[in-house]
Amino acid sequence: MHVVEKNPPPAATAIKWLLFTTVQVASAKQVLKCVRWYVRRWRIEEWQRVMKSGCKILKH
């Protein structure tokens, strides 16, 4: 899927993603659902980084 941000903030470059997925996508509704999953993934990655580096969760 090729995803492009339509209305970026002023003076910002639009975000462009090329998403490869094994999820079958056959409609616009399914595309949006899949994109939402990837958006959430970045929040989860950030949370894990904070837990590992900031909270030192793996050292306990």
Residuewise pLDDT in 10s, the chain (60 residues): 888 999 999 999 998 989 888 988 999 999 999 988 888 888 888 888 888 887 777 775
Give me the pLDDT at residue 55, please: 78
Domain map (residue ranges) of the chain: 25-60
Give me the pLDDT at residue 60, please: 57
Whole-model pTM: value is: 0.57
Length of the chain: 60
DSSP code per residue over 18-53: E---SS---SHHHHHHHHHHHHHHHHHHHHHHIIII
Give me the pLDDT at residue 26, please: 92
Give me the pLDDT at residue 43, please: 85
Amino acid at 3: V
Backbone region of residue 56 per phi and psi (left: phi > 0; alpha: psi in -120 to 50; beta: other values): left
